[in-house]
Amino acid sequence: MAKNSKLLTAKEAKDIDIRAKEIFGISTLVLMENAGRGGAEEAIKVLHGRKNVAIFCGKGNNGGDGFVAARHLLAYGLKPVIFLVGRVQDVENEARINLETLLRLRQKIIEVDEENLHLVKNKISQYTLIIDALLGVGLQGEVKSIVRDLIGVINASKAYILSVDIPSGLDATTGRVLGCCVKADKTVTFVAKKRGMVIGDGPKYCGRIVVKDLGMPL
């Protein structure tokens, strides 16, 4: 577990990722692997009989963390259900690499859009643990459209909610809710807490915050 007491803004968190790659030669793929594994480890800690796990993933790097977490949960013996906002073909870069691995493992990916949102609403009561990997610290502007609807469905569920990096919809710098936000029971974040987690609305939405390292010092 990381011991950094510094609070990071969204820009500082992004700069750490850039520095890791450009100065230390640590690829985004490695950082994503470490983040996803950390998320899975925290999920396993809170299982307590919760066997039905759903992972909600966006198309960006936060979704990539979710894909990695899914693979580690598969290795643990669980069979998580993955809901992807959008289409598989639209996922790119390192997130796509991890998604392709899941597909080769024959993991089912449920693509979610406005037309089949009702299916998610019908299924949500089946899940006792939900992992939120929809939106990360790079979010700019208010949450809209299908993601907004999904956050409402997630929050209305009775499942234990674990957010990866930051609850989707929370401004990592100001702690402001950007239209709507996942209300997590626990948030696993990386390297250090984000400033927005401890000010503004952050404390109401993050739940218990656990800081894990990514294999590099701050």
pLDDT on residue 67:
98
To 10 degrees, the CA torsion angle through 98, 104, 105, 106?
Answer: 120
Structural domain boundaries enclosing 40: 10-212
Instruction: Please check whether residue 147 is in contact with residue 179, taking contact to mean a CB–CB distance below 8 angstroms.
Output: no
pTM: 0.95
Asked if residue 4 is part of any domain, the answer here is no
Asked if residue 1 is part of any domain, the answer here is no
pLDDT on residue 131:
98
Asked if residue 66 is part of any domain, the answer here is yes
Nearest Cα residue to 215 out of 15, 58, 28 = 28
Asked if residue 5 is part of any domain, the answer here is no
| Gap between the Cα atoms of 110 and 197, Å rounded | 30
pLDDT on residue 2:
43
pLDDT, tens digit only, all 218 positions of the chain: 445 678 999 999 999 999 998 998 999 999 999 999 999 999 999 998 778 999 999 999 999 999 999 999 999 999 999 999 999 999 999 999 999 999 999 999 999 999 999 999 999 999 999 999 999 999 989 999 999 999 999 999 999 999 999 999 999 999 999 999 999 999 999 999 999 999 999 999 999 999 999 987 66
Q: Which two tokens stand for residue 102?
A: 């899941």
Asked if residue 140 is part of any domain, the answer here is yes
Asked if residue 218 is part of any domain, the answer here is no
Q: Collect all residues with Cβ–Cβ distance below 8 Å to 106 and sequence separation of at least 6.
A: none
CATH number of the domain bearing residue 75: 3.40.50.10260
Alpha helix ranges (H) inside 23-175: 28-45, 61-76, 93-104, 117-123, 145-156
Length of the chain measured in residues: 218
Asked if residue 139 is part of any domain, the answer here is yes
Q: Which two tokens stand for residue 133?
A: 């990997």
**E strand or H helix that includes residue 209:** strand 208-212
Asked if residue 35 is part of any domain, the answer here is yes
Domains: count for the chain: 1
Only one residue has tokens 């959008």, namely 86
